[in-house]
Amino acid sequence: MSILPQKYFVEKIGGDLVDVAVMVEPGASPHTYEPKPKQMVALAKTTIYFAIGVPFETTWLAKIAATNPNMLVVHTEADIKKIPMRGHHHQGTELEQDHHGIRDPHVWLSPPLVMIQAGNILQALLKVDPAHGPVYEKNYNSFMKELVVLDGEIRAAFEGKGKDVEFMVFHPAWGYFAQAYGLEQVPIEFEGKQPKPAELHYLIQYAKERGIKVIFAQPQFSWQIAQTIAKSIDGQIVFVDPLAADWDTNLRRVASRFKSALK
Protein backbone atom coordinates (compact mmCIF):
# COMPACT_ATOMS: atom_id res chain seq x y z
CA MET A 1 0.00 0.00 0.00
CA SER A 2 1.06 3.58 -0.45
CA ILE A 3 0.65 5.40 2.89
CA LEU A 4 0.52 4.68 6.64
CA PRO A 5 -3.19 5.44 7.26
CA GLN A 6 -4.03 2.67 4.78
CA LYS A 7 -2.12 0.23 6.99
CA TYR A 8 -4.56 1.14 9.74
CA PHE A 9 -7.57 0.56 7.45
CA VAL A 10 -6.35 -2.72 5.98
CA GLU A 11 -5.35 -4.13 9.37
CA LYS A 12 -8.77 -3.20 10.75
CA ILE A 13 -10.40 -5.41 8.13
CA GLY A 14 -7.69 -7.99 7.54
CA GLY A 15 -6.73 -8.47 11.19
CA ASP A 16 -4.11 -11.15 11.75
CA LEU A 17 -4.73 -12.56 8.29
CA VAL A 18 -2.84 -9.78 6.57
CA ASP A 19 0.79 -8.81 6.59
CA VAL A 20 1.17 -5.26 5.38
CA ALA A 21 4.00 -3.08 4.11
CA VAL A 22 3.80 0.64 3.43
CA MET A 23 5.72 2.36 0.62
CA VAL A 24 5.86 5.94 1.96
CA GLU A 25 7.72 5.47 5.22
CA PRO A 26 7.24 7.69 8.28
CA GLY A 27 8.58 11.18 7.69
CA ALA A 28 8.41 10.97 3.89
CA SER A 29 5.85 12.81 1.76
CA PRO A 30 3.65 11.03 -0.80
CA HIS A 31 4.04 14.12 -2.99
CA THR A 32 7.77 13.68 -3.53
CA TYR A 33 8.37 10.06 -2.55
CA GLU A 34 10.12 7.50 -4.78
CA PRO A 35 10.08 3.78 -3.95
CA LYS A 36 13.35 2.18 -2.85
CA PRO A 37 14.74 -0.70 -4.92
CA LYS A 38 14.28 -3.00 -1.89
CA GLN A 39 10.58 -2.11 -1.81
CA MET A 40 10.19 -2.78 -5.52
CA VAL A 41 11.74 -6.24 -4.98
CA ALA A 42 9.38 -6.97 -2.07
CA LEU A 43 6.41 -6.37 -4.37
CA ALA A 44 7.19 -9.64 -6.14
CA LYS A 45 5.80 -11.49 -3.11
CA THR A 46 2.81 -9.20 -2.63
CA THR A 47 -0.78 -10.38 -3.20
CA ILE A 48 -2.57 -7.03 -3.23
CA TYR A 49 -1.37 -3.48 -3.76
CA PHE A 50 -3.74 -0.93 -2.23
CA ALA A 51 -3.34 2.32 -4.13
CA ILE A 52 -5.04 5.50 -2.94
CA GLY A 53 -4.30 8.04 -5.66
CA VAL A 54 -1.43 9.95 -4.02
CA PRO A 55 0.92 11.85 -6.37
CA PHE A 56 3.80 9.36 -6.47
CA GLU A 57 1.44 6.73 -7.89
CA THR A 58 1.09 8.78 -11.09
CA THR A 59 4.66 7.92 -11.98
CA TRP A 60 5.07 4.68 -10.06
CA LEU A 61 1.86 2.67 -10.02
CA ALA A 62 2.37 1.23 -13.51
CA LYS A 63 5.94 0.20 -12.57
CA ILE A 64 4.68 -1.23 -9.26
CA ALA A 65 2.02 -3.25 -11.10
CA ALA A 66 4.58 -4.46 -13.65
CA THR A 67 6.81 -5.99 -10.96
CA ASN A 68 4.23 -8.68 -10.28
CA PRO A 69 1.53 -9.60 -12.82
CA ASN A 70 -0.25 -11.78 -10.23
CA MET A 71 -0.67 -8.91 -7.80
CA LEU A 72 -4.14 -7.39 -7.55
CA VAL A 73 -3.92 -3.58 -7.74
CA VAL A 74 -6.84 -2.04 -5.87
CA HIS A 75 -7.80 1.61 -6.15
CA THR A 76 -9.19 2.17 -2.67
CA GLU A 77 -10.22 5.70 -3.65
CA ALA A 78 -12.57 4.34 -6.36
CA ASP A 79 -16.15 5.69 -6.12
CA ILE A 80 -14.99 8.83 -4.32
CA LYS A 81 -15.87 12.10 -5.98
CA LYS A 82 -12.68 14.12 -5.68
CA ILE A 83 -12.73 17.86 -5.19
CA PRO A 84 -10.34 20.18 -7.03
CA MET A 85 -7.29 21.40 -5.14
CA ARG A 86 -8.14 24.94 -4.09
CA GLY A 87 -5.75 27.81 -3.79
CA HIS A 88 -6.29 30.94 -1.79
CA HIS A 89 -5.52 33.89 -3.94
CA HIS A 90 -5.38 37.63 -4.26
CA GLN A 91 -8.38 39.90 -4.43
CA GLY A 92 -10.01 37.80 -1.75
CA THR A 93 -11.37 35.41 -4.31
CA GLU A 94 -10.94 31.79 -3.67
CA LEU A 95 -10.65 30.25 -7.08
CA GLU A 96 -12.25 26.91 -7.53
CA GLN A 97 -9.92 25.78 -10.18
CA ASP A 98 -9.22 22.61 -11.90
CA HIS A 99 -5.62 23.58 -12.34
CA HIS A 100 -3.93 21.05 -14.65
CA GLY A 101 -6.76 18.73 -13.66
CA ILE A 102 -5.29 18.28 -10.17
CA ARG A 103 -7.75 16.75 -7.76
CA ASP A 104 -7.28 16.66 -4.03
CA PRO A 105 -5.70 13.27 -3.14
CA HIS A 106 -6.19 13.49 0.67
CA VAL A 107 -9.26 11.22 0.80
CA TRP A 108 -8.07 9.32 3.89
CA LEU A 109 -8.69 12.26 6.20
CA SER A 110 -12.49 12.20 6.11
CA PRO A 111 -14.29 9.42 8.03
CA PRO A 112 -17.25 9.35 5.58
CA LEU A 113 -14.79 8.82 2.70
CA VAL A 114 -12.88 6.19 4.68
CA MET A 115 -16.16 4.24 4.88
CA ILE A 116 -16.10 4.03 1.06
CA GLN A 117 -12.43 2.99 1.12
CA ALA A 118 -13.20 0.32 3.72
CA GLY A 119 -15.77 -1.16 1.35
CA ASN A 120 -13.21 -1.31 -1.45
CA ILE A 121 -10.65 -2.94 0.85
CA LEU A 122 -13.19 -5.55 1.97
CA GLN A 123 -14.08 -6.42 -1.64
CA ALA A 124 -10.41 -6.95 -2.49
CA LEU A 125 -9.79 -9.22 0.51
CA LEU A 126 -12.89 -11.26 -0.29
CA LYS A 127 -11.64 -11.64 -3.84
CA VAL A 128 -8.15 -12.94 -3.02
CA ASP A 129 -9.09 -14.90 0.09
CA PRO A 130 -12.76 -15.95 -0.05
CA ALA A 131 -12.15 -18.72 2.51
CA HIS A 132 -11.81 -16.10 5.25
CA GLY A 133 -14.76 -14.08 3.97
CA PRO A 134 -16.78 -14.21 7.21
CA VAL A 135 -13.80 -12.93 9.24
CA TYR A 136 -13.25 -10.00 6.89
CA GLU A 137 -16.93 -9.16 6.90
CA LYS A 138 -17.13 -9.23 10.68
CA ASN A 139 -14.05 -7.01 10.99
CA TYR A 140 -15.42 -4.67 8.34
CA ASN A 141 -18.70 -4.30 10.24
CA SER A 142 -16.87 -3.46 13.49
CA PHE A 143 -14.67 -0.97 11.67
CA MET A 144 -17.70 0.70 10.08
CA LYS A 145 -19.26 1.06 13.52
CA GLU A 146 -16.09 2.70 14.82
CA LEU A 147 -16.11 5.07 11.86
CA VAL A 148 -19.72 6.03 12.52
CA VAL A 149 -18.83 6.79 16.16
CA LEU A 150 -15.74 8.80 15.18
CA ASP A 151 -17.68 10.72 12.53
CA GLY A 152 -20.42 11.50 15.04
CA GLU A 153 -17.91 12.70 17.64
CA ILE A 154 -16.16 15.06 15.25
CA ARG A 155 -19.48 16.29 13.86
CA ALA A 156 -20.73 17.03 17.38
CA ALA A 157 -17.46 18.82 18.20
CA PHE A 158 -18.00 21.31 15.38
CA GLU A 159 -21.70 21.79 15.89
CA GLY A 160 -22.59 25.31 16.91
CA LYS A 161 -19.17 26.51 15.80
CA GLY A 162 -20.55 29.85 14.59
CA LYS A 163 -19.37 31.47 11.40
CA ASP A 164 -15.65 31.46 12.12
CA VAL A 165 -14.94 28.27 10.28
CA GLU A 166 -11.63 29.09 8.62
CA PHE A 167 -8.34 27.55 9.54
CA MET A 168 -5.03 28.37 7.84
CA VAL A 169 -2.81 25.47 6.89
CA PHE A 170 0.53 25.25 5.10
CA HIS A 171 -0.14 22.13 3.00
CA PRO A 172 -3.81 21.78 1.99
CA ALA A 173 -4.38 18.22 3.21
CA TRP A 174 -7.64 18.91 5.08
CA GLY A 175 -10.09 19.79 2.30
CA TYR A 176 -12.24 16.65 2.70
CA PHE A 177 -12.15 16.92 6.48
CA ALA A 178 -13.30 20.56 6.18
CA GLN A 179 -15.98 19.54 3.69
CA ALA A 180 -17.31 16.84 6.01
CA TYR A 181 -17.55 19.08 9.07
CA GLY A 182 -18.49 22.46 7.63
CA LEU A 183 -15.06 24.07 7.95
CA GLU A 184 -13.02 26.12 5.51
CA GLN A 185 -9.36 25.41 4.80
CA VAL A 186 -7.19 28.40 3.84
CA PRO A 187 -4.06 26.94 2.25
CA ILE A 188 -0.72 28.73 2.19
CA GLU A 189 0.92 26.43 -0.31
CA PHE A 190 -0.70 25.51 -3.56
CA GLU A 191 0.29 22.50 -5.66
CA GLY A 192 3.54 22.22 -3.78
CA LYS A 193 4.50 25.80 -4.55
CA GLN A 194 5.40 28.21 -1.81
CA PRO A 195 3.63 31.57 -1.97
CA LYS A 196 5.33 34.44 -3.78
CA PRO A 197 6.07 37.56 -1.66
CA ALA A 198 2.86 39.30 -2.82
CA GLU A 199 0.80 36.21 -1.95
CA LEU A 200 2.51 35.95 1.40
CA HIS A 201 1.65 39.56 2.09
CA TYR A 202 -1.96 38.88 1.10
CA LEU A 203 -2.19 35.80 3.34
CA ILE A 204 -0.82 37.77 6.31
CA GLN A 205 -3.35 40.55 5.73
CA TYR A 206 -6.08 37.99 5.33
CA ALA A 207 -5.19 36.24 8.59
CA LYS A 208 -5.10 39.57 10.43
CA GLU A 209 -8.51 40.60 9.09
CA ARG A 210 -10.06 37.29 10.03
CA GLY A 211 -8.44 37.13 13.43
CA ILE A 212 -6.63 33.90 12.54
CA LYS A 213 -4.06 33.15 15.25
CA VAL A 214 -2.95 29.63 14.45
CA ILE A 215 -1.10 28.39 11.39
CA PHE A 216 -1.23 24.64 10.93
CA ALA A 217 1.82 22.89 9.56
CA GLN A 218 2.80 19.27 9.14
CA PRO A 219 6.03 17.48 9.99
CA GLN A 220 6.69 16.29 6.41
CA PHE A 221 6.97 19.77 4.93
CA SER A 222 9.20 22.73 5.69
CA TRP A 223 7.38 25.15 7.92
CA GLN A 224 9.54 28.29 7.61
CA ILE A 225 6.83 30.09 5.64
CA ALA A 226 4.21 29.07 8.18
CA GLN A 227 6.58 30.42 10.85
CA THR A 228 6.92 33.72 8.99
CA ILE A 229 3.16 34.13 8.81
CA ALA A 230 2.67 33.11 12.43
CA LYS A 231 5.21 35.73 13.55
CA SER A 232 3.61 38.46 11.45
CA ILE A 233 0.17 37.85 12.93
CA ASP A 234 1.50 37.36 16.45
CA GLY A 235 0.15 33.84 16.34
CA GLN A 236 1.58 30.36 16.63
CA ILE A 237 2.26 27.22 14.65
CA VAL A 238 0.44 24.03 15.53
CA PHE A 239 1.38 20.72 13.95
CA VAL A 240 -1.17 18.35 12.49
CA ASP A 241 -0.04 15.19 10.74
CA PRO A 242 -2.11 13.89 7.80
CA LEU A 243 -0.02 10.71 7.62
CA ALA A 244 0.00 9.50 11.22
CA ALA A 245 -0.15 5.73 11.74
CA ASP A 246 -2.58 5.96 14.68
CA TRP A 247 -5.26 7.21 12.33
CA ASP A 248 -8.30 7.45 14.62
CA THR A 249 -6.45 8.93 17.61
CA ASN A 250 -4.75 11.35 15.28
CA LEU A 251 -8.02 12.49 13.72
CA ARG A 252 -9.50 13.16 17.14
CA ARG A 253 -6.35 15.10 18.06
CA VAL A 254 -6.51 17.15 14.85
CA ALA A 255 -10.21 17.87 15.35
CA SER A 256 -9.58 19.23 18.82
CA ARG A 257 -6.67 21.36 17.57
CA PHE A 258 -8.79 22.82 14.78
CA LYS A 259 -11.56 23.44 17.25
CA SER A 260 -9.34 25.35 19.67
CA ALA A 261 -8.01 27.45 16.79
CA LEU A 262 -11.52 28.44 15.70
CA LYS A 263 -12.37 29.97 19.04
Nearer to Zn ion, 10 or 240 (CB): 240
The nearest distance, CB 175 to Zn ion, in angstroms, is: 10
The nearest distance, CB 24 to Zn ion, in angstroms, is: 11
Footprint on this chain of Zn ion (rule: CB under 5 A): 173
Angstrom distance (rounded) from CA 136 to CA 124: 10
Nearer to Zn ion, 22 or 173 (CB): 173
The nearest distance, CB 250 to Zn ion, in angstroms, is: 15
Angstrom distance (rounded) from CA 246 to CA 144: 17
Nearer to Zn ion, 14 or 242 (CB): 242
Nearer to Zn ion, 142 or 222 (CB): 222
Nearer to Zn ion, 136 or 176 (CB): 176
Taking a C-beta distance cutoff of 8 angstroms, is the pair 85, 191 a contact? yes
The nearest distance, CB 211 to Zn ion, in angstroms, is: 27
- Give the helix/strand (H/E) hosting 261: helix 247-262
Degrees to nearest 5, angle at CA 113 with 76 and 108: 65
Nearer to Zn ion, 173 or 214 (CB): 173
The nearest distance, CB 87 to Zn ion, in angstroms, is: 14
Taking a C-beta distance cutoff of 8 angstroms, is the pair 86, 94 a contact? yes
The nearest distance, CB 64 to Zn ion, in angstroms, is: 19
Q: E strands of 37-165, at which residues?
A: 48-51, 72-75
The residue sitting closest to Zn ion, measured at its beta carbon, is 173
152 three-state secondary structure: helix
The nearest distance, CB 57 to Zn ion, in angstroms, is: 13
- Contacts from 113-117 at CB under 8 Å and sequence distance 24+? 113/80, 113/176, 113/180, 114/9, 114/147, 115/144, 115/147, 116/79, 116/80, 117/9, 117/52, 117/76, 117/77, 117/80
Nearer to Zn ion, 173 or 183 (CB): 173
Angstrom distance (rounded) from CA 23 to CA 25: 6
Angstrom distance (rounded) from CA 250 to CA 263: 20
